[in-house]
């Protein structure tokens, strides 16, 4: 559990979810272009780090 709470991917996902809730749920007037840039950046980071994690599992350091 502690490993999950210290994961940067986890916190990026939490921050993105908070951003989405604030902009959609509370009606903040976030520019649509900025909204999608933030969401795309977060998804790119999460998927990129996941790819790195998978590569580490397949090819462990010597």
Q: SS3 of 24, please?
A: helix
Residue pLDDT, tens place only, 14-46: 999 999 998 888 888 888 899 999 999 999 999
According to the model, what pLDDT value does residue 6 have? 82
How far is the C-alpha of 46 from the C-alpha of 11, rounded, in Å? 10
Contact 14, 8 (CB under 8 A): no
**In the predicted model, is pLDDT for residue 51 greater than 90?**
yes
Domain boundaries, the chain: 2-58
Write down the residue that tokens 């994961």 correspond to.
7
Which of 5, 13, 4 lies closest to 44 in space, CA to CA? Answer: 13
Q: Which residue has the tokens 């940067």?
A: 8
């Amino acid at each position: 559990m502690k490993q999950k709470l210290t994961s940067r991917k986890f916190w990026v996902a939490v921050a993105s979810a908070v951003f989405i809730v604030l902009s959609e749920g509370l009606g903040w007037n976030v520019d649509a272009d900025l909204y999608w840039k933030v969401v795309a950046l977060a998804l790119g980071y999460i998927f990129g780090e996941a790819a790195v994690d998978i590569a580490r599992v397949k090819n462990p350091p010597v």
